[in-house]
Amino acid sequence: MNEIDQLVRNLYQAGAPVAPSSEAIWSSVERLTGRSETRRAWRRPLPRRLAFVFALALAGALAFALLPAHRHSHGVGIPESASAAELLRALADHGSPLPDVPRGSFLYSGGTRIFLGGYTNEKGESFRAFYRQRWELWVGRDGTIRDRDQFDPATPVRYLSEHDRRVALRIGGYREDTHVLGTTTHSLKDYRAAFGMTPNALRRLPTDPRTLAQRLLATAHSMPIETYSHDPLQVVSKLLRAPIRPAVRVAMLRALATLPHVRRLPDETLAGEPVVAVAMRVWIHAYFGPGRIYYDHVLLLDPSTGQLVGARFVHRLGNDRPSTARDATTRWTWRQAVVPTIRSRPSAS
């Protein structure tokens, strides 16, 4: 199995359901029968008792199969049948996964982005492939932003198709060296362009979920890039990479729970760790001609902390047509920590 296939498997394969406990089976039976057989002593002869146990066990197994509410997310007591709103509120109950960022310190975010790119030579021959980008971001409360990206175009993770691979081999691939790009800015104009507001406005974001949801939508509509204007999850993921107050970080999950079109996806694993997933279907205008391009913006959250640990864009072949894992054109993973300087990185753990 190659690297991208393993990533696809990690990002898209739902985890196996947790085996039911005996308490869950008994609870299912008691709800179906209206009786609490587990709380009273049995005084039946042994053969009848065994037959009764067998009948209840069979009924419990059937009840469990018919009642998905007893299947829980990995590591948390959140039923897999819970809605996105119920899931997000439960995650918010854990509190903020990050402390506040003191003045003079920075919020570090860093990880990997795998995206679909292309190359065309001077003869018009072209191919498409998935590439890996390593990205890092430092954001301070004073408006300072530093970003660093490393991109190796010569070594794609995977070609989009066998035809693309053959073309790449014939024309010699993407003939460029590794790119390492980085900028540091103290401009409030750049800060506003990145986060949709000034540092002071960001620190004053409300903690009431519905009020915050209205701010998220207003910020999305005010952004000049169309993918933001129709996608409040873009704004959420941006603001979670900024030094917002811990109370606002918690309220962000509750605000997401109030949005009408956020839905829950099956639980997954990411780099071998369990995650829960929520998504929103959004659209942008077609690049050429009339029409719209639909995609699902998926956020991956740590079920034990509510921390945002990954995301992906899955392009839809039509608003209602099902898509596959390979329709995802971009995937992110990241980790976050408060660090003391603009060049500090969190220790590996």
Kindly report which listed range (94-98, 104-108, 171-175, 239-243) carries the lowest average pLDDT score.
Answer: 171-175
Query: For the segment 302-314, what is each residue's pLDDT rounded down to a tens digit?
Result: 999 999 999 999 8
Q: Does 119 reside within a domain?
A: yes
Say if residue 29 is in the same domain as residue 138.
Answer: no
Say if residue 168 is in the same domain as residue 232.
Answer: yes
Say if residue 50 is in the same domain as residue 138.
Answer: no
Say if residue 265 is in the same domain as residue 170.
Answer: yes
Q: What pTM does this model have?
A: 0.75
Say if residue 173 is in the same domain as residue 313.
Answer: yes
Decide if pLDDT at 143 tops 60. yes
Return the pLDDT at 227.
Answer: 66
Look-up of token digits 């509510």: 306
Q: Does 294 reside within a domain?
A: yes
Q: Which residue among 42, 76, 110 closes a domain?
A: 76
> What's the chain's average pLDDT?
78
Residue 109, class by beta-carbon neighbours within 10 Å (0-12 exposed, 13-18 middle, 19+ buried)?
buried
Q: Does 85 reside within a domain?
A: no
Say if residue 187 is in the same domain as residue 302.
Answer: yes
Cα–Cα distance, 334 to 241 (Å, whole number): 10
Q: Does 84 reside within a domain?
A: no
Q: Does 347 reside within a domain?
A: no
Mean pLDDT computed over 279-296? 82
Q: Does 82 reside within a domain?
A: no
Say if residue 72 is in the same domain as residue 97.
Answer: no
Say if residue 187 is in the same domain as residue 285.
Answer: yes
Say if residue 119 is in the same domain as residue 20.
Answer: no
Looking at the chain, list the stretches that DSSP marks H as alpha helix, in order from N- to C-terminal side: 3-12, 22-33, 46-66, 84-92, 162-171, 188-195, 199-203, 209-222, 226-229, 232-239, 246-258
Q: Which residue among 76, 100, 130 closes a domain?
A: 76
Say if residues 228 and 235 touch (Cβ distance below 8 Å).
Answer: yes
Mean pLDDT computed over 53-73? 38
Say if residues 188 and 199 touch (Cβ distance below 8 Å).
Answer: yes
Say if residues 303 and 74 touch (Cβ distance below 8 Å).
Answer: yes
Q: Which residue among 20, 45, 76 closes a domain?
A: 76
- The per-residue b/e assignment along 325-346, b for 16 or more CB within 10 angstroms, e otherwise, is ebebbbbbbbebbbbeebeeee
Say if residue 184 is in the same domain as residue 323.
Answer: yes
Say if residue 209 is in the same domain as residue 60.
Answer: no
- The per-residue b/e assignment along 205-219, b for 16 or more CB within 10 angstroms, e otherwise, is bebebeebbebbeeb
Cα end-to-end span (Å), the chain: 26
Give every CB contact of residue 34 below 8 A, 6+ residues apart in sequence. none
Q: Does 87 reside within a domain?
A: no
Return the pLDDT at 15.
Answer: 33
Q: pLDDT higher for 232 or 79? A: 232
**Number of compact structural domains in the chain:** 2
Q: What percent of the chain has pLDDT over 90?
A: 51
Structural domain for 15, as ranges = 3-76
Closest to 237 in 3D by CA, of 247, 246, 228: 228
Say if residue 45 is in the same domain as residue 166.
Answer: no
Q: Does 144 reside within a domain?
A: yes
Residues listed for the chain: 349
Cα–Cα distance, 120 to 336 (Å, whole number): 36
Query: For the segment 95-106, what is each residue's pLDDT rounded down to a tens digit?
Result: 999 999 999 999
Closest to 303 in 3D by CA, of 334, 276, 331: 276
- Both structure tokens of 247: 């109370």
